[in-house]
């Protein structure tokens, strides 16, 4: 009996060590594979031009194109931020904020595409009073979808793709903010040394800064798993 109890204790201890190791060290492995961060210089520069949240822009690129600069949808949306040709042409020459940043008006050029996408998203943020969810819904489904969402105060009135779009972006954004905070240079984070999280409810303004020091591995792991769980739920379990 005593031997069996000892064996059980050893198994529990081993499982605890393995579980703790997975909790602490898997986040970076998963992030490197599932949440790549490419074109970081372009993201920082284009987001700064419009005062846009950088992890949000990184998450939008991930969900729109998987960081493939040659991505093209069946509808014709182009590049990293999947901007429609007509929308791109209507905006690229009018965005004064990026005229000293971009070197051409080629929609397939990574910096140009990211900057135009950032400008469009920033414009939608302003249009909808800082409501991240409404802005993302408009980015994906147009202003009509955003208005239906705001009128109903629910995403249930939207088609499935648009209904799930904002939760996926916001969940991925929290992962980027947690795992890559040290790579978002310039004006990010806006204050202090915490992680810039949350936002995106009906009538909600800008997200708030919470004091989670990114230098603490335990806090970093916790915030990663929270964002990762939301992302998985939004992808596979929301209906």
Choose, from 33, 42, 64, 219, the residue flagged as catalytic: 64
Look up the pTM and report it. 0.77
CA–CA distances in Å: residue 74 to residues 24, 63, 71, 78, 107: 40, 16, 10, 10, 16
Nearest C-alpha neighbor of 189 from the set 201, 206, 204: 206
Residues counted in the chain: 239
Instruction: Give pLDDT tens digits for 161-217.
Output: 999 999 999 999 988 988 888 889 765 554 433 333 334 433 334 443 333 344 466
Instruction: Give pLDDT tens digits for 102-149.
Output: 999 999 999 999 999 999 999 999 999 999 999 999 999 999 999 999
Cis amide bond preceding 189, omega within 30: yes
Instruction: Give pLDDT tens digits for 31-70.
Output: 666 789 999 999 999 999 999 999 999 999 999 999 999 9
Q: How many beta carbons lie within 10 A of that of residue 145, not counting itself? A: 22
38 is catalytic: no
pLDDT at 122: 96
pLDDT at 231: 73
- Residue 27 in contact with residue 225, Cβ under 8 Å? yes
What kind of fold does domain 39-237 have according to CATH? Lysozyme (1.10.530)
DSSP H helices, 35-84, are 40-50, 54-65
């Amino acid at each position: 009996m005593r031997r069996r109890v000892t064996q059980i204790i050893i198994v529990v201890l081993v499982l605890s060590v393995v579980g703790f190791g997975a909790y602490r060290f898997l986040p970076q492995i998963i992030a490197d594979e599932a949440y790549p961060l490419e074109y970081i210089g372009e993201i920082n520069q284009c987001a700064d031009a419009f005062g846009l949240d950088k992890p949000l822009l990184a998450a939008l690129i991930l969900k729109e194109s998987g960081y493939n600069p040659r991505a093209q949808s069946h509808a014709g949306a182009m590049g990293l931020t999947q901007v429609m040709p007509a929308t791109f042409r209507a905006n690229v020459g009018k965005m004064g904020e990026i005229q000293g940043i971009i070197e051409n008006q080629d929609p397939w050029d990574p910096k140009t595409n990211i900057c135009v996408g950032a400008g469009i998203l920033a414009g939608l943020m302003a249009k909808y009073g800082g409501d991240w969810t409404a802005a993302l819904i408009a980015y994906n489904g147009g202003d009509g979808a955003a208005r239906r969402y705001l009128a109903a105060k629910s995403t249930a009135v939207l088609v499935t793709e648009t209904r799930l779009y904002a939760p996926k972006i916001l969940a991925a954004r929290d992962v980027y903010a947690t795992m890559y905070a040290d790579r978002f240079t310039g004006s990010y984070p806006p204050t202090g040394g915490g992680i810039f999280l949350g936002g995106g409810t009906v009538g909600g303004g800008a997200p708030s800064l919470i004091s989670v020091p990114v230098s603490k591995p335990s806090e970093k792991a916790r915030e990663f798993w929270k964002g990762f769980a939301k992302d998985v739920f939004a992808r596979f379990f929301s209906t």
